[in-house]
A and B are shown apart, each in its own frame.
Chain A
């Protein structure tokens, strides 16, 4: 149980392209989903918290107009990297919690490796 699917797993595209990444909770309803970014050999940095039916909460330093997050249903959140540039190349990972209660683990997707040429 608690499976999270992230798609696509890898994207290679030209500078200026917008890229959409999907995160789906397959067997549970996720009120809250999280989006992380991970640089090589580094830890995960939280970008934003996505709550179903409301606007995402972005961490300090993350441009909300650059990284558009939509959480339209209890099983799907999307991250769109708009007008991507080479510095946006990174490993993006989503996660979801079963509910908003404290002491709930997060369940992660397998990540999306984004390479901007």
Chain B
């Protein structure tokens, strides 16, 4: 299965701290995406990193990709209570259309 595995499954931090989530996958990818899901809602796209990129930033988010280790990390700096959500990585492949496979998710709780 290509499904990514996120680590940790759950993470609880204090507001202002940094949160790091990791994603590992099994086979070659074209890109890796990170999404956020608030409870009972749809997913919000956060950032996409291509297989030939190693690091990408977007606001307080920093994503790294190591294709040799088949892993990625998402760092949220200076976390806020509003960052409380589940975070999923999704691996994308080429071939006709943009199909992705979602990982198991990390549930992040930011305590005010």
A interface residues (Cβ-Cβ under 8 A, vs B) = 4, 6, 31-32, 34, 36, 42-46, 49, 51, 91, 93, 95, 97, 100-111, 113
With A102-B30, A107-B45 already in contact, the answer to whether A43 and B103 are too (CB < 8 A) is yes
- Which of B12-20, B59-67, B73-81, B93-101 lies at the interface with chain A? B93-101
Residues of A close to B33: CB separation below 8 A: 105-106
Shortest C-beta distance, B48 to chain A (Å), equals: 5
- 9 tightest A-B CB contacts, nearest first: A108-B42, A105-B45, A108-B43, A110-B42, A44-B102, A102-B94, A97-B98, A43-B102, A32-B97
A100 to B94, CA, bound (A): 10
Residue-wise, chain B 79-111 has the 8 Å CB interface mask toward A (1 for contact) of: 000000000100010101111111111000000
Total chain B interface residues with beta-carbon distance under 8 A: 26
Q: Can you list 30 pairs linking A and B with CB atoms under 8 Å apart? A: A4-B42, A32-B97, A32-B98, A43-B105, A44-B88, A44-B102, A45-B102, A46-B100, A46-B102, A49-B99, A93-B43, A97-B97, A100-B96, A100-B97, A100-B98, A101-B98, A102-B30, A102-B31, A102-B94, A105-B45, A106-B33, A106-B43, A106-B45, A106-B100, A108-B35, A108-B43, A108-B44, A110-B41, A110-B42, A113-B40
Q: Is B71 an interface residue (CB 8 A)?
A: no
Q: How far is the CA of A61 from the CA of B52 in the complex (A)?
A: 33
B26 contacts the other chain (CB 8 A) = no
Q: How far is the CA of A105 from the CA of B47 in the complex (A)?
A: 8
A109 to B43, CA, bound (A): 8
Whose C-beta in chain B lies nearest to the C-beta of A105?
B45
Q: Say whether A111 contacts B98, CB under 8 Å.
A: no
Additional A-B contacts beyond A100-B98, A106-B43 (20; CB < 8 A) = A6-B42, A36-B102, A43-B103, A44-B43, A44-B102, A49-B99, A51-B97, A93-B43, A100-B97, A101-B98, A103-B30, A103-B31, A103-B92, A105-B33, A106-B100, A108-B44, A108-B45, A110-B42, A111-B42, A113-B40
